[in-house]
């Protein structure tokens, strides 16, 4: 998926359909406790803008921090997005995107929270929890 390309995707049951513009052909993996609880492993996401949803009445959100919410399909439970509220940025779940042929893993965040039982083979940029909070949000209480 090249930079600035329109993406389409859908949840498992098809009740929610997504369109947006991928900022880059890059996938990030988040290893934080919340993402691992939410997705039972690292959360693989694509940073998108101009995101629209069809079937929005099938989306449920949970406010997971002061600055973000997570969305999922209330019919099938598919994880849809991590949404930074202030900037209106959406990290769309890569598994929902119809064409993943150009996707490349390039970033792992909360690398210091990753459990020892898995390792991703790709050589990527990494950020610790402290680095993520310094770059994007105030540290939690």
Residues 96-113 have pLDDT tens digits of 999 988 889 999 999 999
Structural domain boundaries enclosing 46: 5-136
- Say if 109 falls within a structural domain: yes
How many other CB atoms sit within 10 Å of the CB of residue 109? 26
Could you report the per-residue pLDDT of 6-28, keeping only the tens digit for each?
Answer: 999 999 999 999 999 998 879 99
pTM score, two decimals? 0.87
Q: What is the token pair recorded at 103?
A: 């996707």
Pairwise CA distance, residues 70 & 35, whole Å = 10
Residue 21 within any structural domain of the chain: yes
For residue 22, give the CATH number of its domain. Answer: 2.170.150.70
Number of structural domains (the chain) is 1
Domain presence at residue 54: yes
User: What is the chain's length?
Assistant: 141
Task: Name the burial class of residue 139, with classes exposed (0-12), middle (13-18) and buried (19+) by CB atoms within 10 angstroms of its CB.
Answer: exposed
For residue 141, being part of any structural domain is answered with no
């Amino acid at each position: 998926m090249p930079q600035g390309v329109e993406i389409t995707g859908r949840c498992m049951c098809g009740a929610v359909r997504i369109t947006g513009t991928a900022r880059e052909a890059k996938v990030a993996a988040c290893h934080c406790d919340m993402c691992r609880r939410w997705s039972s492993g690292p959360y693989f996401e694509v940073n998108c803008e101009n995101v629209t949803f069809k079937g929005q009445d099938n989306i449920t959100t949970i406010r997971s921090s002061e600055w973000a919410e997570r969305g999922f399909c209330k019919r099938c439970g598919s994880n849809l997005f991590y949404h930074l509220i202030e900037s209106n940025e959406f990290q769309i779940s890569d598994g929902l995107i119809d064409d993943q042929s150009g996707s490349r893993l390039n970033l792992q965040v909360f690398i210091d929270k990753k459990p020892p039982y898995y390792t991703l083979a790709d050589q990527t940029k990494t950020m610790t929890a402290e680095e993520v909070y310094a770059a994007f949000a105030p540290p939690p209480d």
